[in-house]
Amino acid sequence: MAAVQWDPFEAIERDVRAMVADPRWADVPAPTQTQAMTARLLRTPDGGCWLFGAHARWHRHDPGDGLWHLAAPPAAPRARAAARAAQPAPPVPEHLLPSAAGLAFERGSTQAFVGPDVPRDMTGRIRALLDVACAAREEELPFATGPLRELFHPDVTAPVAAMWGTIMWCAYAPAFDGNEVLLSMFGEFLSRPLPGDDWVRWLPPMPLSALTALYTERLARGAGAAVRAAGHVAGTARVLLADPRFAPRAAALLAMVEPLLARPWLDHPAQDAESARQAWLSRCPPRLQGALVAEFSPGEHFRHTLYDLVEALSFSCAHGADPRAVAASLLAADVQAVAPDVAPLLHGWLDPESRRAYHAALTDPAHPLRGCWPRDGEPPAPLRPPDRASAAALLGAGYATGLAWCRLTETAPPPRGFPTSSATVTCLINERDDPAPSVPATSAEWIRHS
């Protein structure tokens, strides 16, 4: 029997989690916490120093610039096993010290909704809530303002829009199978086709302000209308908790909205969507703050999605590739194809190694990293995920990264997806979970065509 190779990264992560979970950790002075974390740093043969700290993620101290950067750790077993205790060790900044709340955050799944569809019991529960929303007589007056307004027919009521907005805001990466029942049940209400093609609906991200705008519009009509809208948001989020692709944001949204159901007056001082948004964000507990990074800092959100993309590419190390370099190359491929003018705006958000790989892939057509780029709409053979779950995770992380850099640079996302994500779809076309004939078809056939 082959010996099991010891993994220093796994060992340190377990150790840090156990240490921080101790209730006494919160009372330990910052200098003592820093000392404890310094003793748990790893150094890899390339000279980089690694810290498992804030956000329950790894950070790399680059020997070149002397700074700490959010960075996914090495994926190859041999590279991980080569890490040793860092002696001497660079100083650990206080803002990177781990906290019990930060380490308690469950990130959920990066999978897109292509290949593994939303489970039928969930779509059934959403369908039941939608029927209630359509039948709510007190809500018959249509809503008139906010980002959701332009998506729906004029006679669509606030509860229906609240449900759609909740689903889209909670989705990690809103790329959906073109036959997804969760979307098709809303077909009769939407005023225009969803962006995408016959295979995938590439939907734009939904800002929290879309939901708070709906809430404040209802609030202007009376406290009862606003509470009912909040109730539809909360009811939808409770259903979404069962799917790990929705769960982190659904939990955060519930924490922000449920207090309104018990104390309807909480947000009465809010006069507009932004003031309501700030009130909602203030109610999110520290253990769920990780779900709100995009609301506080688009740049940090981009860094975290790129970290997800690197992790989703971990299978590529079996072919001798560095997942961080591959992720930087795929980022370059998408930026080059969609908005080359914004490419320099991302440099400052990348760690030095990723920045060098990103720049090389962008500027040198002969660079080996260009071999990671899709050709004729297909990923190169070494970047074809080994199984369905890996392909769905790569698709979701890739699309989330694309949406994140578009948000950061104020670029409109492409309606037919990013080149690298679209190429990943070809790995899932024959793996889709299309609805069985017993599932009712959409009442709006246009939802399948754009």
Strands (E), 36-157: 42-43, 49-53, 57-61, 68-70, 84-85
Residue 138's pLDDT is what? 55
CA separation for the pair 442, 331 (Å, rounded): 35
Q: Whose CA is closest to 182, among 224, 137, 236, 221?
A: 236
- 3-class DSSP state for residue 53? strand
Residue with tokens 């003793």: 39
CA separation for the pair 176, 428 (Å, rounded): 12
CA separation for the pair 102, 423 (Å, rounded): 34
What is the residue-wise DSSP string for 392-412? HHHHHHHHHHHHHHHHHHT-P
Asked whether the beta carbons of 147 and 274 are under 8 A apart, the reply is no
Helix (H) or strand (E) holding 274: helix 273-282
Q: Whose CA is closest to 250, among 228, 235, 230, 229?
A: 235
Torsion angle of the four alpha carbons 320, 323, 329, 332, in this order, in degrees rounded to the nearest 10: 170
Q: Give the pairing of strands 42-43 and 84-85.
A: antiparallel
Residue with tokens 């790989």: 357
CA separation for the pair 363, 328 (Å, rounded): 13
CA separation for the pair 80, 318 (Å, rounded): 14
Q: Whose CA is closest to 399, among 416, 379, 378, 377?
A: 416
Residue 223's pLDDT is what? 85
CA separation for the pair 433, 114 (Å, rounded): 8
CA separation for the pair 291, 106 (Å, rounded): 9
CA separation for the pair 364, 380 (Å, rounded): 18
Residue 436's pLDDT is what? 43
pLDDT in tens, the chain (450 residues): 445 578 999 999 999 999 999 999 999 999 999 999 999 999 999 899 999 999 999 999 998 899 999 999 999 999 999 999 998 899 999 999 999 999 999 999 999 999 899 999 999 999 999 998 887 665 556 777 788 988 999 888 889 999 999 999 999 999 999 889 999 999 999 998 999 988 899 999 999 999 999 999 999 888 888 999 999 999 999 999 999 999 999 999 999 999 999 999 999 998 899 999 999 999 999 999 999 999 999 999 999 999 999 999 999 999 999 999 999 999 999 999 999 999 999 999 999 999 999 999 999 999 999 999 999 999 999 999 999 999 999 999 999 999 999 999 999 999 999 999 999 999 998 765 544 433 333 333 333 333
Residue 137's pLDDT is what? 60
Residue 432's pLDDT is what? 54
- 3-class DSSP state for residue 315? helix
Q: Whose CA is closest to 163, among 143, 179, 193?
A: 143
φ/ψ of residue 81, rounded to 5: -65, -20
Identity at 142, one-letter amino acid code = P
- 3-class DSSP state for residue 117? coil
Torsion angle of the four alpha carbons 400, 403, 408, 409, in this order, in degrees rounded to the nearest 10: 140
CA separation for the pair 240, 236 (Å, rounded): 6
Residue 431's pLDDT is what? 62
- 3-class DSSP state for residue 437? coil
